[in-house]
Amino acid sequence: MTAAHDLIGRTHPTLRVSRSAVTRNLSGHPREVYADARHDGWGLGAQLITSVAREQSLAGVVGDDGPAAFAGEVPPTFAVVTAAVAAGALPQTVPAVTLSGEVLGVKVLRAGESVSYGYTFTAREDTRVALVTGGYAQGIVRSLGNRLAVTMNGVRRPIVGRVAMDVCVVDIGAAETGTGDEVVFLGDPDRGEPAWAEWIALTGLGLEELLPAIGNRTRREIVA
């Protein structure tokens, strides 16, 4: 983890990067290719990308200072394994990241009441909402408000209202949810969690824009 990540508070959302998934995604490529480790591995961690690329016998990595070969000279032309492959955002790859926040509190929202800045969401009936860690300062893009449904206890629940700087609001209805419960913004679609494709479609942004904004502004953890 970088020094910048050491300064990120415990209340920030967490990006868990699966080393085994990154390894699988970087395996099977020709030895002549390089892995893309620019921008701190596009948020995955440059050290992780470099370590896995070396283990998988790739030729080297492309860092912020240019290409670096693990052995010998850098050829004039070479292929690069992109961040989309490493992160598991393309077909034939496996999801490598999980972005999650936690519930800070729960309150009742009565019919006719609104939430967040600008009151872009007004409850049509009585419901309950959860205040969740994770806002646009940590890469939860503002356009996801009123559009993305996160996963809580295995069930998709909609973000309502505008995404704020460090938090957002989720409509939980009658669900049994309490302070400290995990909320998954991005993960494995096989588990019913939002996927990269959904984020890209809802925001109109590419992975190379989304991933660094998340990975370099959240608490990043490397897991098995």
Give the DSSP letter string of 30-50: -TT-EEE-HHHHHTT-HHHHH
Domain boundaries, the chain: 19-87, 98-223
* Three-point CA angle 173, 151, 178, nearest 5°: 55
Multiple choice CATH, 98-223, 2.40.160.20, 3.30.43.10, 2.40.37.10, 3.30.70.1230: 2.40.37.10
Distance CA(81)–CA(95), nearest Å, equals 16
In this predicted structure, what is the pLDDT of residue 5?
46
In this predicted structure, what is the pLDDT of residue 4?
43
Closest to 42 in 3D by CA, of 102, 97, 79: 97
Share of the chain above pLDDT 90, in %: 93
Q: Where are the beta strands (DSSP E) in 153-215?
A: 155-160, 167-171, 182-186
Place of tokens 């998934």: 21
Element holding 201 (H helix, E strand): helix 196-203
Distance CA(60)–CA(66), nearest Å, equals 11
Q: What is the pLDDT of residues 122-161, one digit of tens each?
A: 999 999 999 999 999 999 999 999 999 999 999 999 999 9
45 phi, psi to nearest 5 deg: 110, 110
pLDDT over 80 (residue 11):
no
Helix axes 46-55 and 19-26, enclosed angle (nearest 10): 50
- Identify the bridge partners of residue 69 per DSSP, sorted by sequence position: 60
Strand order of the β-sheet with 60-63 is 66-69, 60-63, 34-36, 80-81
In this predicted structure, what is the pLDDT of residue 210?
96
Whole-prediction pTM value? 0.92
Compute the mean pLDDT over every residue in the chain, rounded to the nearest whole number. 94
CB 34 within 8 A of CB 67: yes
pLDDT over 60 (residue 197):
yes
pLDDT over 70 (residue 1):
no
In this predicted structure, what is the pLDDT of residue 12?
87
pLDDT over 50 (residue 3):
no
In this predicted structure, what is the pLDDT of residue 208?
93
